[in-house]
Amino acid sequence: MNQLFDEKFLRQLERLAILSKRAMAGEIQGERRSPKRGQSVEFADYRNYTRGDDFRQIDWNVYARLERFFVKLFVEEEDLTVHLLIDTSRSMDWGAPNKLWYAQRATAALGYIALAGFDRVTVSAFNAGLAETMRPRRGKQQTFALFDFLAGLAVDGTTDMRTSLQRYAQQTPRAGPLMLITDLLDPSWQDGLRALQSRPFEITILHVLSPDEIDPMLEGDLRLIDTETGRPIEVTADFDLLSSYRENVQRWFEEIREFCSRRGIAYAQVDTTAPFERLIFALLQQRGVLG
């Protein structure tokens, strides 16, 4: 995977950060600023002194003016766990460029941004269940471990987002920003997202599709095979059928956008011909995922 990014592109990624709107519980003090108030050098606010507070945090200048005790509060900086979930079901092995390849590259870029920002990063592949997981890692020195893990992923199985995401929510000890990279070609996608939202994850969906899934260029009598189940279907690809298909795709996109908007989930839809730089340096920044 490391050959997919040259040094210039990696340096550009290092200028970005995974954005988080709320504080998460960190195990150690890191380099990410949190809205929590703790011990650091940057002043945040005052509050009234209460019994048991550290006398060293009393602002004696304020006491001299007001004859009341106030404790100084400082911005706490802590690390986050960034969760990257990548769909490796058989439907991802499709398109030119290939959907899984595009998803691997997006996951690698997001993981590198988080590692360079000194966040903790974990990656899980899913299909009918959770397939493989890279244990949480931290620091740029873990970049090759991240890239090697992603390079070793292969498509297999059908998609069951309800089971996979429910299991992930149940077994993950620490919430945080969560990036879900998938084609969403599973009827249980809403149930899966609801399961994730039972925990305080900040969810972003990167919806990856092949251009021919959005606007198929088909003609005549065809026998199509479902890539996951192997089930065949015979169709006549005429103007009316293709028009109906495109309308259904657009309704599906709108359904996803409305679902995500109501629940505060960031959503970005891309096809695999979209320039990768546009995804990272424009689309995900516009969605407030990167900054």
Model pLDDT for residues 248-261, shown as the tens digit of each residue: 999 999 999 999 99
My answer on whether 117 and 41 are in the same domain is: no
Cα–Cα distance measured from residue 132 to residue 105, given in angstroms and rounded to the nearest whole number: 17
> Taking the alpha carbons of 167, 110, 153, 249 in that order, is the dihedral positive or negative?
positive
Cα–Cα distance measured from residue 272 to residue 275, given in angstroms and rounded to the nearest whole number: 8
Total domain count, the chain:
2
Cα–Cα distance measured from residue 13 to residue 107, given in angstroms and rounded to the nearest whole number: 13
My answer on whether 240 and 116 are in the same domain is: yes
Gyration radius from the chain CA atoms: 23
The predicted pLDDT at position 19 comes to: 87
Is residue 240 within 8 Å of 60, Cβ to Cβ? Answer: no
My answer on whether 61 and 167 are in the same domain is: no
Domain that holds residue 45: 33-77
My answer on whether 59 and 103 are in the same domain is: no
My answer on whether 63 and 90 are in the same domain is: no
My answer on whether 72 and 121 are in the same domain is: no
Q: Is residue 103 a part of any domain in this protein?
A: yes
- Pick from 20-29, 120-129, 266-275: least confident: 20-29
Q: Which residue has the higher pLDDT, 70 or 270?
A: 270
Q: Is residue 28 a part of any domain in this protein?
A: no
Share of the chain above pLDDT 90, in %: 68
Q: Is residue 214 a part of any domain in this protein?
A: yes
Q: Which residue has the higher pLDDT, 67 or 11?
A: 11
Cα–Cα distance measured from residue 37 to residue 286, given in angstroms and rounded to the nearest whole number: 29
My answer on whether 183 and 124 are in the same domain is: yes
pTM greater than 0.85: no
Model pLDDT for residues 86-117, shown as the tens digit of each residue: 999 999 999 999 999 999 999 999 999 999 98
Model pLDDT for residues 43-75, shown as the tens digit of each residue: 556 667 666 667 777 888 877 888 787 776 654
My answer on whether 146 and 265 are in the same domain is: yes
- Please report which residue ranges of the chain form alpha helices under DSSP H: 7-13, 60-66, 99-116, 143-151, 161-171, 189-196, 211-214, 239-263, 276-278, 284-286
My answer on whether 139 and 55 are in the same domain is: no
- Pick from 14-28, 35-49, 245-259: least confident: 35-49
Model pLDDT for residues 119-168, shown as the tens digit of each residue: 899 999 999 999 899 999 988 899 999 999 999 999 999 999 999 999 99
Is residue 146 within 8 Å of 111, Cβ to Cβ? Answer: yes
My answer on whether 39 and 167 are in the same domain is: no
My answer on whether 71 and 94 are in the same domain is: no
Angle between helix 189-196 and 239-263 (nearest 10):
10
My answer on whether 159 and 257 are in the same domain is: yes
Of the CA atoms within 13 Å of residue 152, those in its CB half-sphere come to: 12
The predicted pLDDT at position 45 comes to: 60
**Cβ–Cβ contacts within 10 Å for residue 35, how many?**
11
| Residues in CB range of 52: below 8 A, 6 or more apart | none
Is residue 57 within 8 Å of 36, Cβ to Cβ? Answer: no
Cα–Cα distance measured from residue 2 to residue 112, given in angstroms and rounded to the nearest whole number: 11
Q: What's 265's domain CATH number?
A: 3.40.50.410
Q: Two tokens at 137?
A: 């890692």
Three-class DSSP category at 187: coil
Is residue 1 within 8 Å of 147, Cβ to Cβ? Answer: yes
Backbone φ and ψ of 204, nearest 5°: -125, 130
Q: Is residue 187 a part of any domain in this protein?
A: yes
The predicted pLDDT at position 30 comes to: 42
CA distances from residue 38 to 17, 23, 72, 110, 216 in whole angstroms, order as listed: 22, 12, 10, 28, 55
Model pLDDT for residues 117-129, shown as the tens digit of each residue: 888 999 999 999 9
Last residue of a domain, one of 47, 62, 77: 77
Residue 29 has pLDDT above 60, yes or no: no
